[in-house]
Amino acid sequence: MTLTPAPHLTIGKLSAATGVKVPTIRFYEQAGLLPEPPRTASDRRLYDEPALRRLGFIRHARQLGFDLDAIRSLLDLADHPDRTCSDANAIAERHLADVTEKIRQLQALQTELSRMTADCAGGRVSACKVIEVLQDRDCRH
């Protein structure tokens, strides 16, 4: 039994299939994350199944917060399946460390905002703790 290749998708259909907006698809092409697709005589882009899978990979990586350089490296690794996955793991570990630090910063922010709002007496702005804390330029909470 011979499988016929998936039909080529226009950029609009690729967008609908992946949930990635058309300008973002064009951006990924310009950034070199997606190869430039072949075009019709009328200059319409036509994407194949590998492009669909690659865009799905990029979308998922972006949802996980990977930056474009990390995604570029991960795509390069995915394009060479015989290589060791230690490089991919190192990229993920660096990203995990960044996420952990951001969570720490957000928790500190949450604590400060909670303190600010809890201290608010609900009176006049002249006695407002929120305004007072925001005006304190040396505040290092």
What tens digit of pLDDT does each residue of 50-93 get? 999 999 999 999 999 999 999 999 999 999 999 999 999 999 99
Q: Are 75 and 33 in contact (CB under 8 A)?
A: yes
In this predicted structure, what is the pLDDT of residue 120? 72
Stretch 41-45: mean pLDDT, rounded? Answer: 90
- How far is it, in rounded angstroms, from Cα 49 to Cα 5? 8
Coil, strand or helix at 14: helix
Does the pLDDT of residue 137 top 80, yes or no?
A: no
In this predicted structure, what is the pLDDT of residue 4? 44
Same domain for 71 and 131:
no
Q: Quickly state the pLDDT bin for 3 (edges 50, 70, 90).
A: very low
Does the pLDDT of residue 138 top 60, yes or no?
A: yes
Same domain for 117 and 66:
no
Same domain for 71 and 20:
yes
Lowest-confidence segment of 57-61, 88-92, 102-106, 112-116 by average pLDDT: 112-116
Same domain for 41 and 109:
no
In degrees rounded to 5, what are phi and psi of residue 67? -80, 170
Query: What value does the mean pLDDT of the chain take?
Result: 88
Same domain for 23 and 2:
yes
Task: Write out the residue range of the structural domain in which residue 2 sits.
Answer: 1-83
Q: Which of 103, 109, 35, 62 is CA-nearest to residue 14?
A: 35
pTM over 0.85: no
